[in-house]
Amino acid sequence: RSPRDKVVCILNCCRRITNLLRDEAVHASEPGAPQVGADEFVPALIYVVLKTNPAHLLSNIEYIAAYRNPARLRGEPGYFFTQLTMAVSFIQGLNASLINVPEREFDDGIAACRAGLASDPTFSFGWEGRSASPTHGAISDRGPSQLPDAAQLDE
């Protein structure tokens, strides 16, 4: 697929997330519901990336960054591409202090996830450490999947 095709997929996904958040805000509040902004969108995008585990995410981001005409990454497509890149970067840098959780609790949560995923042959997140630009560290496109070690999260 072309870089444009990949940007269209990102755009469609992000629009869907935005519409779902907007619909939820309308149903959950009084008339004149607040606009959905980055404060609501970014955590939802991070969640979607974690739950959907897009195949070859890093290489797709790199491919778009390298081959999509920068003039075509303005406005909404550029904004959503930047938000996706930022979400991936956040996930890669995730540690206990970043989310204000005691380190022991964070490590226990990672260990519990590893144990649960070890028995799931269909799970594939690709965490092991291929460094990549514009992001690096925990998310990868290859290899057997595991949750990162604490050392990988600190890269």
List Cα–Cα distances, 134 to 6, 49, 52, 62, 64, in angstroms. 17, 16, 21, 7, 11
Find out whether the peptide bond into 77 is cis, omega within 30 degrees of 0: no
In Å, the largest CA–CA distance within the chain is: 50
- pLDDT per residue over 48-94, tens digit each? 998 888 889 999 999 999 999 999 999 999 999 999 999 999 998 88
pLDDT surpasses 70 at 139: no
pLDDT band at 140, cuts 50/70/90?
Answer: very low
Q: What is the pLDDT of residue 114?
A: 78
Q: What SS3 class is residue 132?
A: coil
pLDDT tier at 149, thresholds 50, 70, 90 = very low
Q: How far apart are alpha carbons 51 and 38 in whole angstroms? A: 19
| The pLDDT value given to residue 131 | 41
pLDDT at 72 (0 to 100): 92
- Torsion angle defined by CA atoms of residues 103, 104, 107 and 111, in that order, rounded to the nearest 10 degrees: -170
Task: Identify the pLDDT of residue 123.
Answer: 60
Lowest mean pLDDT among 14-18, 21-25, 61-65, 85-89: 21-25
Q: What is the pLDDT of residue 155?
A: 35
pLDDT in tens, 81-131: 999 999 999 998 888 998 899 999 999 988 888 787 777 766 655 544 444
Average pLDDT for 15-30: 84
Q: What is the mean pLDDT of the chain?
A: 78
